[in-house]
Structure 1
Amino acid sequence: MTVKPIFSPVLIGILAAVLCGLFIFFTVRKKYKIWIKVAAIARVSLILLLVFVINLRPVKKVYDMETTLNNVDVLFVVDSTISMWAEDYQGDQPRMNGVRDLIEHVMFSMQGSNFGLIRFDNQAQILAPFTGDAENVLDAVEMIEIPSRLYAKGSTLDTAYEAMEELLQSSSKKENRQTVVFFISDGENTLKKETRSFSELSKYITEGSVIGCGTKKGGKMKDSNGSRIHDPETYDDAVSKMDEENLQKIAGELGINYTKLSSESCVDYVISSIKSTGSSHGHQNIVNYTDTYYWYVIPLAVLLIWELWLIIRKGRV
């Protein structure tokens, strides 16, 4: 058992002592029977004591053994073109919301791994080389923003090829390393040109998935100012539709599965596959704290109700 105070115990202790002293002073001066005064002082003292204990926030330590993945590099390749903000994820949410939830879920499920992040639109950028600093990678994910209309000049799905090759080659140089790739996109190839094959990268990849974002029906988009994007030819609201054929083609070239982004847990089968390879497992003790202060809230509530009843029905404390 240990404590994690909510407010300064010294401050609360002094305040409780002053209130208790004042209550005793005024109660003693009242013309009540001795036993009534003693009972009142005892009740209020107990109330203040319970408040002091609750403020200490007593907690119980719980030790858990957590499995970590010590020999795994996980690379996220994220399409950050403006269509990734089309609103057709789980109804009318932006696709990028689902991407962020997915990445956070994977990183939580694969603790101990090194994580890397690449984003691409009309050019690729390595936002985070492989690192064990998960918070840094999550911060980088949050920094991916809707590109400006002026900046959005079309893209192809092979834009990230060189950046992927750079990080995958660096991972392959590490001894006994497994490399997992999550390629996340809606599959739209807006420049309408033949994309480079990803087949040469498959030799660096142990496991992973190409993850398709969006729907065949499509979703409307807003720009960085919150205004609807319109089709330049028809002037109707522009609609982005996912292209699963392109994504399945890339999955085949990389030698990994294709998965549709339906929820953050859609690639749990990949995580389970990696965790089943015992050679990459490590263990660490995790300390969790369980609150126990609520046990003191119950008698405090009873005493407060009692005091309220005495004030209302008896006209005294």
Structure 2
Amino acid sequence: MTILPIIPWGLLAAIGIAVIAFTVWAIVRSPQTKRRVRFTAFRGAAVVLLVLAALRPGWAGSEARTAVADLDVFFVVDTSTSMAAEDYNGTGTRLSGAANDVMAIAKELAGARFSLITFDNKATVRMPLSQDATALQTAMTTLQPQNPRYANGSSVTGAGTLLKDRLKAAREQHPGRPALVFYAGDGENTAAADPAPMPVDANTVSGGAVLGYGTGQGGRMKDPSDTAGGYLKDKNAGNSQDAVSRIDEGQLKNIAAQLHAPYVHRSGNEPTADMLAKAQPGALTPTVDDGPGRVELYWLLALAGFLLAVHEPLRHFTALREVRGQS
């Protein structure tokens, strides 16, 4: 259990000791009826409970929610065909893993403005900056990997120019507002040319992370045109075996270095807190401080103090009625 006192704890301790001493003195200073002794003890106990409530006792265990009102968060999500590979947390698709992490980050950074950029053959702004987390969830829920019929090679840095433009526009609109970038992909570059460097000015990025999905063993991808649920075939093997996509962590780490952000591999077994802890938390300044993952107990003490003190106004009301009845 921990305490987060609203005023210095030493002052609260002094007040508590003074209240206890005064209560004992009031009881023993002169003979009193049992009823008066009980009332005096109740008053003292109520004040002590309020002093304890001011200490704000609690313990870890609740769900932490961070409200970040002055923060822009850009999600850059790979939607190329390889993101349909089924090697995330068992047999889940890589894109499903990215969707889970995007919404987990949005939940932790409630109150920020979110933007979603996706890329395969081309980059697209799926959602401009907005505080509407429901719209973000809808966009991520409906997101699908590119149909291989229309795939002609994608670059892992294909969203770089669009991200640069969006970051610049956000900075011009709100100078000084921190921006986080979370890039989610598998690093598989299928374009004919090597990926161009990310044109993003690292000074415009206050934090974030590059999130990698997939395994070295790789995963197969369902063929959306096969109604029987078959998998895409490897053209290089004469379509005699299923195609397998493998993560390229080297490419992802290069992107992370260019963005000056950490690289984090996501397999579905790590908590969101681990991911955010590496995302330069200095930029994640909460506007509401409830303590990380904290169960507050002060209200129980305050309620108990109220119940002990509620007899006072009732006693005065009864006495007033008796006086009026005698007049």
**1:275 deviation in Å?**
6.7
1:247 — aligned with what?
252
SS in 1 for 2:125: strand
SS in 2 for 1:176: coil
1:202 — aligned with what?
202
1:17 — aligned with what?
none
What is the CA RMSD across the aligned residues, in angstroms? 2.2
1:133 — aligned with what?
132
2:162 — aligned with what?
163
Distance 2:154 2:65 in 1: 42
Out of 245, 269, 276, the residue aligned to residue 268 of structure 1 is: 276
Distance 1:91 1:219 in 2: 10
Distance 1:95 1:65 in 2: 26
Distance 2:65 2:92 in 1: 33
Tell me if 1:112 matches 2:115. no
**1:227 deviation in Å?**
2.6
Distance 1:157 1:123 in 2: 11
2:184 — aligned with what?
184
Distance 1:131 1:122 in 2: 25
Asked if structure 1 preserves the Cα contact closer than 8 Å seen for 2:153 and 2:192, the reply is no
Distance 1:65 1:76 in 2: 22
Asked if structure 1 preserves the Cα contact closer than 8 Å seen for 2:74 and 2:180, the reply is yes
Tell me if 1:147 matches 2:146. yes
Distance 2:215 2:111 in 1: 34
- Quick one: structure 1 residues 223 and 65, their matched pair in 2 at CA, closer, same or farther if it must change by over 3 Å? closer
Asked if structure 1 preserves the Cα contact closer than 8 Å seen for 2:211 and 2:264, the reply is yes
Gaps of 5+ in 2: 1-62, 291-327
Alignment of 1:56-135 (within 5 A): 67-135=66-134
Distance 1:126 1:66 in 2: 27
Distance 2:88 2:65 in 1: 32
- Quick one: structure 1 residues 213 and 143, their matched pair in 2 at CA, closer, same or farther if it must change by over 3 Å? same
Distance 1:221 1:166 in 2: 33
Q: 2:181 is aligned with what amino acid? A: V
Asked if structure 2 preserves the Cα contact closer than 8 Å seen for 1:179 and 1:206, the reply is yes
Asked if structure 2 preserves the Cα contact closer than 8 Å seen for 1:70 and 1:282, the reply is no
Q: 2:231 is aligned with what amino acid? A: R
Number of matched residues? 219
C-alpha distance after superposition, 1:39-72 (max 9, x if no partner): xxxxxxxxxxxxxxxxxxxxxxxxx996410111
Q: 1:223 is aligned with what amino acid? A: D
Q: Identity across aligned pairs (percent)? A: 31
Greater strand proportion: 1
Q: 1:243 is aligned with what amino acid? A: D
Asked if structure 1 preserves the Cα contact closer than 8 Å seen for 2:262 and 2:278, the reply is no
Q: 1:269 is aligned with what amino acid? A: A
Q: 1:137 is aligned with what amino acid? A: L
SS in 2 for 1:233: helix
Question: Hey, which bits of structure 1, 4+ residues long, moved more than 3 A?
Answer: 64-67, 274-277
**Scaled by the length of structure 2, what TM-score is found?**
0.63
Asked if structure 1 preserves the Cα contact closer than 8 Å seen for 2:76 and 2:181, the reply is yes
SS in 2 for 1:281: coil
Gaps of 5+ in 1: 1-63, 285-317
Distance 1:249 1:85 in 2: 23
Asked if structure 1 preserves the Cα contact closer than 8 Å seen for 2:261 and 2:279, the reply is no
Asked if structure 2 preserves the Cα contact closer than 8 Å seen for 1:220 and 1:238, the reply is yes
C-alpha distance after superposition, 1:232-272 (max 9, x if no partner): 12121000000000010111011111110123615131468
**1:283 deviation in Å?**
7.0
**1:276 deviation in Å?**
5.5
Q: 1:104 is aligned with what amino acid? A: M
Q: 1:268 is aligned with what amino acid? A: L
**1:148 deviation in Å?**
1.9
**1:223 deviation in Å?**
2.3
SS in 2 for 1:111: coil
1:50 — aligned with what?
none
Asked if structure 1 preserves the Cα contact closer than 8 Å seen for 2:202 and 2:258, the reply is yes
Asked if structure 1 preserves the Cα contact closer than 8 Å seen for 2:221 and 2:231, the reply is yes
- Quick one: structure 1 residues 91 and 204, their matched pair in 2 at CA, closer, same or farther if it must change by over 3 Å? same
